[in-house]
Structure 1
Amino acid sequence: MAAGYSLFDTEIGRCGVAWGPRGITAVQLPERDDAATVARLAPGAAEAEPPESVRVAIKRMTALLRGERDDLADIELDPTGVPEFHQRVYAIARAIPPGRTLTYGEVATKLGAPGSAQAVGQALGRNPYPIVVPCHRILGAGGKIGGFSAGGGAATKLRMLTIEDAAPGGQPSLF
C-alpha cells in the first residue's frame, strides 16, 4: 500500500485520513478549510485514491459519525513514531464503546499509573488518529468535557459525544 491521503465528508464536517504501507498514519477532524485540514493531516503528502482497507475505514468512520455503533477497534493503525505510553493510552481509548466514556483519571488507573491523568491528557492531545482512537470519549473529572485539540475544540467533542448518545457533564457513562 503506497502512502497518500484523502478527504471525506461526515456529519461534523470534512475529515481526512492518511495512510502508508503499515496502515493508517493519521486521521484529521475538520479544520477551518480543506487546506488547513491537509496541512495538519499530511504535510507534503499526495492526495490519492484510498486502498480498499482505507475506503472501508472511511465508510465506518462516516457511519460512526452518523450515529451508527462501531468501535472501529480492528482498523489497522501504523504506530511508527508514537511513544509507547501514548500507544497504551490509545489502546484503552479504543476499548471504550460508542456511547460510553471514561475520565482521564480512570484511564490513568487502568494504565496502572494513578495520578498520571495529566500525562493521559497530553497523550490524547497528540492523538494522530481521532475517531479511530476515540479521545472524545475521555472526559475531565466529574464528567466535564475538558479540552479538545481538534478544530472547534470542546464544541466538536460535545457534538461527537452527542451523536453517540454519550453522557457528557455530570456523571460520565462508564463502561
Structure 2
Amino acid sequence: MEATASGHFLFETALGVVGIAWTPRGITRLQLPGRDPADTERLLTAVRNGFPRPECTADARVRLERLLPPTIAAAVALLRRYALGEPVALAAIPVDLPYVSEFRRAVYRAARRIGHGEVLTYGELAERAGHAGAFRETGTAMGANPVPLLVPCHRVLAAGRKPGGFSAPGGVATKLRLLALEGIRLEAADPAQASFGF
C-alpha cells in the first residue's frame, strides 16, 4: 500500500452504509451498517480497547470519494461488489492491526484464508491458526475483530454448524444475512446464542 494519509470514510453499499478507517499500511477498522449513517460513524470512530485511533478523529474524515487514496478507493469498490453478492477477493485488501496480540494476529491470518462461501467452526479455525483447542479464545478474537469482512468472522460458526454469535450491529441476523449473500443457508440461532460476542 502506498504512503497515504490516514483517514476514515463512510460509503453506501447494498447492505447499507459501511465505514472504514485506514493508515498508510492498510485498513484498521471496518464498521458494518448501524441503524443509520450517523450510528455507523459513531461506531466506527468510537475508542475501543484504549488504543489511539488518529485515523478516526473528526478531522480525518474524507467526505468526497474522489479524494480517497487509490488503494482505499479500490477497497471501497471491492466492498461494494461484495455487498452485491459477488465473490470478490477481500483478503487482498491490506489490513493494519498494530495493537492486536500475536494470538489474534494468527487467528485473523487463518480466517482471511476462509474463502467466499466456505465456513469453519471456531475449533477448526483455532487449529488452522496453530492453536488447537483454543476455540473459546478464537471466538473471543472473532468477537473483537476490528475489520469484519476483511477478516471474515461471519464465516466462523459454532460447533454443529450453529451460527454462534456476532458482535456487529444486528447480531446473528446480520451474520446469517452475510452468509446467505455467499450462498450459505443456516437455521436461525438459538436465542441464547445470540447474546454471545463470538
What is the TM-score with the length of structure 1 in the denominator? 0.91
Specify the structure having the higher radius of gyration (Cα).
Answer: 2
Matches within 5 A, 1:46-57: 46-48=60-62, 49-57=67-75
Instruction: Give 1:75 shift.
Output: 0.8
Q: Aligned match of 2:126 in 105, 108, 111? A: 108
Q: Does 1:7 align with 2:21?
A: no
Question: In structure 2, what is the equivalent of residue 83 of structure 1?
Answer: 101
Question: In structure 1, what is the equivalent of residue 32 of structure 2?
Answer: 29
Alignment gaps of 5+ in structure 1: 171-175
Instruction: Give 1:80 shift.
Output: 1.2
Q: Residues of 2 paired with 1:91 and 1:110: CA distance?
A: 10
Amino acid at match of 1:51: P
Instruction: Give 1:108 shift.
Output: 1.3
Aligned CA-pair RMSD: 1.5
Which structure exhibits the higher relative contact order, with contacts defined as CA atoms closer than 8 Å and separated by 6 or more residues?
Answer: 1
- Cα deviation, 1:27-72, whole Å, max 9, x if unaligned, reads 1001112222112212424211321101100110111121111131
Matches within 5 A, 1:5-154: 5-43=8-46, 44-45=57-58, 46-48=60-62, 49-154=67-172
- Cα deviation, 1:65-103, whole Å, max 9, x if unaligned, reads 211111312111112111111111111111011111000
Preserved CA contact (<8 Å) 1:103 1:141:
yes
- Cα deviation, 1:85-142, whole Å, max 9, x if unaligned, reads 1111111111011111000011112123222111001101111111111110001111
Instruction: Give 1:143 shift.
Output: 0.6
Alignment gaps of 5+ in structure 2: 47-56, 189-198
Amino acid at match of 1:8: F
In structure 2, the residue corresponding to 1:67 is in which secondary structure? Answer: coil
Amino acid at match of 2:120: L
In structure 1, the residue corresponding to 2:90 is in which secondary structure? Answer: coil
Instruction: Give 1:10 shift.
Output: 1.6
